[in-house]
Structure 1
Amino acid sequence: MELRVEQLIAGYPGHRAVAGVDLTVPSGEVVAIVGPNGCGKSTLLRSIARLHQPESGRILAGDADIWQLRQRQAAHRIALLPQSPLAPEAVTVAGLVRYGRHPHQGLFRQWSREDERAVGEALRATGVAGLADRRLDQLSGGQRQRCWLAMVLAQETPVVLLDEPTSALDIGHAVEVLDLVREVAVAGRTVVMVLHDLAGAARYADTVVAMKDGRIVAQGAPRDVVDSALVRELYGIEADILQAPDDGSPVVVPAARHAAAAVAAR
């Protein structure tokens, strides 16, 4: 399902966080939104997820404006994994993933074989089926993040939103999560994720969207937009941009300020 954001304006009292953003995400692609702290990327994601009411503009999932839908209808189209999700105390992995089926429940529709199938597929897709009976609080950070992703996948929405899915993970677990994100897109879902890690965005996203001061300052394929000028504009630092030997994706190598000063002094 294609996701479109049209002239979106959103903010808070006295502060405009998103200033007229246009964005199109084709079905089955991964878009990574990057930029410095306070640039508006999380507010944009929260607006798409119906957690922050925009001032104006439209957000369309397929042919429907999500802010014109009922909450349950929107939850059939878009699922969000927030940056710091909270789980009920002592919940098991299977119990957590079952929460993803909540939008499919109702007064006349209780737990079904279809729900059980969706939960089982999500557990297997994220590699945590063997942990189904374990308590979430007994797992490592990487395992927990995969369990949260399983919950989102169990919701079976065509659009998946991820807010900093690799935060607080070591490089090994971060790679596992981003590999899983790619698999989700290959399976046909549309993925929009906010990342602080520009290198990870360049490696795993089909499109990088760079934001600054509430506006998009660059967007396109990573090898077309990730360069030293963009790093300088976003973060105020110098960086060398190398190419990954296997696929040519950009590799960002920040220049240490003390090293640059030593070279200048020669």
Structure 2
Amino acid sequence: MDVRVEQLTAGYSGRTVVDRVDMTVPPGQVAAVVGPNGCGKSTLLRAMARLHTPASGRILIGGDDVWGLKQRQAAHRIALLPQSPQAPEAVTVAGLVRYGRHPHQGLFRQWSQEDERAVERAMTATRVTGLAERRLDELSGGQRQRCWLAMALAQQTPALLLDEPTSALDIGHAVEVLELVREIAADGRTIVMVVHDLAAAARYADTLVAMRDGRIVACGPPRETIDTALMRELYGIDTEILAAPSDGSPVIVPVSPTPVRQAATG
């Protein structure tokens, strides 16, 4: 299903943080939301996930406004992986992933074979099946992030929101998680993720959504969107934009405002 944001405005205590944002992400694509700290990225994601009530506007998943649905219905459409998720103490990987099936449980619908199959598929897709009985707190950061993604996948929503899914990961684990994000999208899910790493956004996203002061200032394929003017507008720095030798994706190189002097030798 596609994800559409229409004229979304949201804020806190009378202060506008997200200002009349419009955005469309087709099914099976990845949109990366980038911008300086405080520009409204996480507030946008929280409003899309029904965790922060917008002042106006709509968030549509497959044509249905998520704020017009009941909470359980919305949980069948959209899942959020927050930046710093918290797990119950000593939970195992399998136990964590099963939490993703909570929106599908109810008074007259208890745990079923369908739930078990959804958990197994999610663990297989994220390659954590071999960790099923391990405690989450015993794993590396990259392994834990794959487990959290498995929990979100087990929810079986057509849309998935990721708030800085690679924060605090080293480059190896970050690439592993982003490759997994691409695989999830290729399976048909629509993904909106907030990222700070522009190189990662340029390489792994279909659409780059650049925000500043609560508004979208640029939106489109990374190769067509990232340029020196955008870097100056977003971050106030001069850059050079190079093309990666492997696939031509943009590589952003900051330009030092003053020449770097080499240390004298002798």
What is the distance in 1 between the residues matched to 2:147 and 2:258? 41
Match of 1:10 in 2: 10
Q: CA deviation at 1:254?
A: 1.6
Mapping 1:1-266, distance limit 5 Å? 1-259=1-259
The 2-side partners of 1:88 and 1:127 are apart by 22
Per-residue CA deviation, residues 173-210 of structure 1 (Å, 9 max, x unaligned), is 00000000000110000000000111100000000000
> 2: CA distance between counterparts of 1:26 and 1:14?
32
Aligned to 2:264: none
After alignment, is 222-231 or 206-215 more displaced?
Answer: 222-231
> How many positions carry a matched residue from both structures?
262
What is the TM-score with the length of structure 2 in the denominator?
0.96
Structure 2 vs 1, CA of residues 200 and 259 (structure 1 numbering), >3 Å: closer, same or farther? farther
Letter matched to residue 5 of structure 2: V
Instruction: Let me know the Cα RMSD of the aligned residues.
Output: 1.2
CA drift of 1:258 comes to: 4.6
**Distance apart, 1:245 and its partner CA:** 1.2
- Alpha-carbon shift at residue 47 of structure 1 (Å): 0.3
User: What code does the residue aligned with 1:20 have?
Assistant: R
> Which consecutive aligned stretches of 4+ in structure 1 deviate over 2 angstroms post-superposition?
255-260
What SS does the aligned partner of 1:256 have? coil
State the distance in 2 between where 1:198 and 1:210 align: 10
**Helix, strand or coil for the counterpart of 2:94?**
helix
Q: Partners in 2 of 1:187 and 1:219 — Cα distance?
A: 24
SS at match of 1:21: strand
AA aligned opposite 1:57: G
- In the TM superposition, residue 237 of structure 1 has moved relative to its aligned partner by 1.1
Shift of 1:257: 4.1
Give the residue type in structure 2 aligned to 1:180. Answer: L
In structure 1, what residue type is equivalent to 2:222? P
AA partner of residue 53 (structure 1)? T
**Percent of aligned positions that are identical:** 74
Pick which of 188-197 and 250-259 moved more: 250-259
